[in-house]
A and B are shown apart, each in its own frame.
Chain A
Amino acid sequence: MAMITPFPSPRGKFSLFKLNFNFLKKKKASTARESQEDLGILVFENTSEVIQAENFLKSRGWHIQVKGPPPGIQSGCDLVIVFPLMEKLIIMRQLTESGLPPIEMVPVTDPLLKPVDLFQVKDFGDYLMVRAANMKLTVDKNTGYIVNISGGGCPDVPYLAQEMVGKHLTEAPRPGKIGHTLCGYALELAHQEMLKQCLP
């Protein structure tokens, strides 16, 4: 048996940095002053509906964030939208009119889980790999083609790989559009970061 050796530190090969979630905030809001009582959560059937609703509400300029649900309503692969409770009626109306009604809307009473906000970037020479949470996306630096997708455990990961690998970074379907789970959401974040890394 091999000797037990410490797990090699990725320092030096990886760059590790915080994901800026400010892109979710269209308004300059005084989040720090907002108490939990000011906030509500929108619960949807699945993550793909959350992503659609997130994109819709962001396009309307709403100040929203995506977070993990409180323990009482966790089922296993969940994401909720946090919104200012005072805007409940108008947000509900807009979502319903756009065909994206949530299945539940409740005030925030418990601490919410924060998505992983760390990226790792690893340079393999001709290839660049970006990791967001448990998902990794690798691109050929010379051609811009996606060559591999790895990590994750939800059933849309093999599907996303099937649809994206072999296509150009800018032409492949976006995981945020065709993914349905938290792994799909993480891959969307990796894809966004890869675009920043690769495109001028």
Chain B
Amino acid sequence: MTTSTIGPNAADTSSTRQAAGLRQLWRRLRSQPVTLVSTLVLLGIVAVAVLAPLLAPYAPEATDFDHPLSGPTADHPLGSDELGRDVLSQLIYAARTALLVAGGSVLVAMLIGVPLGLVLGYKGGWYDRIGSRGMDIADALPGLMIGFVVIAILGRGMLVLILAIGIIFSMNFARMVRAVTLTERKKLYVDSAHVTGLPTRDILFRQILPNMVGPLAVQGAVFLGNAIKVEAALSFLGLGLPESQPSWGGMLRVAAEHQADRPWMALPPGLAILITVLVLNLLGDGLNDALSGRRPVRKRARSAAPVPPPAPAAVADDARAAVLTVDDLVVVADRPDGSTARLLDRVSLQVRRGEVLGLLGESGSGKSMLAKSILGMLPPNVYAEEGSIRLDGQQLRGLPEREFAKLRGRKLGVVFQNPQGNLSPVHTIGQQLCEALRANNELSRKQARARAAELLELVGVDDASRRLGQYPHQFSGGMAQRVAIAIALAGEPEVLILDEATSALDVTTQSQVLDLVLDLRERFDMAIINITHDLGVAAETCDTVAVLYHGELLEVSEVNALFDDPSHPYTEALLAAHPTAETELDRLPTIADKLTVDGDWIRK
């Protein structure tokens, strides 16, 4: 059993769904222990701040000249400073200052930043050009320094501090709001709102702003933490609040003076800052995860069914033996709620050299999983539990990754769906082709390059040597897919799998790429598995067609037989429901017409 730790499915060890409402959000938050603990701690800190007069044993400015600079004693659990002021009390009251300043400055930042971002993002045009330049310029100044400047201009004090820190952070909020607005503005539901007749103002406030609450909350939490750090830094330098107002930064200032003789004095205020900022950050992160629905799926220990012994040498009663045989394959997936879903249910098929097998199915039929099982590239939490996959007699199910790596490229080749996505945007075509070539053949750099040019010409890319030095974005969709085919051919595989390889292409480009594949089949006698949802593609290219529906293989027939006389009602319905450029009907029959009330198929 192999799982991939790289590839589009690998890094996503979780399931993703947008949180539609508060209900869902709360449910998700409940399942995140770290976030819950952080929230509790934060609430505790807020409680301490609010209840300061009740909790603190002394008033923060109360001096006690009899016990200056004492260590932890019964009178002063955390010690006292040089004027005998109780450290614990100062710590508690400073929580108030910290939260007040942080809250105030984040509020100021939002008041400045949110409208600014909204306007820039929504209006676009010149407003946005100038505004973005302005934000870029603000970037050139470190935040703390802006704080210095504001204090230099306006003097010291609580309000100035709040304003200063607010200004520092306002650009961050503006930038975020602008980005969100730009994305949301392009979304279809804004257009739809326009078409319904909603005025701009409405769209901004009713449609876009609510979508921003989440990111604002996350950003707000994180910046509350930042604000506390900045306030502490400024107070540490003596620029913040006057001495009479307790602050953690101020306490650290005093502690710094006694670094040599009373080193422990730095601990309480420092830890207070650390813990507060930490829980704020964790809360922000947790909110972020809950909003985007990222939940880790717990991995369960699995024991797969025992791998069947290698088949005895097949007696070739056909003229050509099957190069790839799948027998009773079962693929399951672990769901986040603990259940397992069967993605493929006892699927059996085979492909011979020179044959094109079509795998026809709609979304959710499991066709992509079949390809991935053959390649050993199943996502985590998806397992090939039973059955066998044999390539040239070698059993693939249960093969260790190292063995699989040897097969990929050399015996198996794949072309995936997304043309531009299939190629690394920051490497040239030549680099990637040569990479594939050298991974499968012993070639020097020069030899690889020459061979790469040959391959490109083979797949129909003109001016191959020059184009080797180009980047993917300089290729059109059809051309990029040809390059992907070239990469797949680099190791001269016996079996080529096309996973919806032409679905994203225009009709004319699609027919060119498919014709190319058929040419290659003739030339190299390759076995080809063409995975598609398009009946027309199956009709034009396949020798045999296997029909998949919800993980079940409904039928496998020679292509003409399938189209003339399908044996399963689903195939019948599929064929009938397919509007083509040739037929004209009053009403399209639908799949539902073929099902009885209980969901069983109406068989002929």
The answer to whether A and B interact is no
Q: Using CB atoms and an 8 Å cutoff, list the residues of chain B in contact with chain A.
A: none
Q: Using CB atoms and an 8 Å cutoff, list the residues of chain A in contact with chain B.
A: none
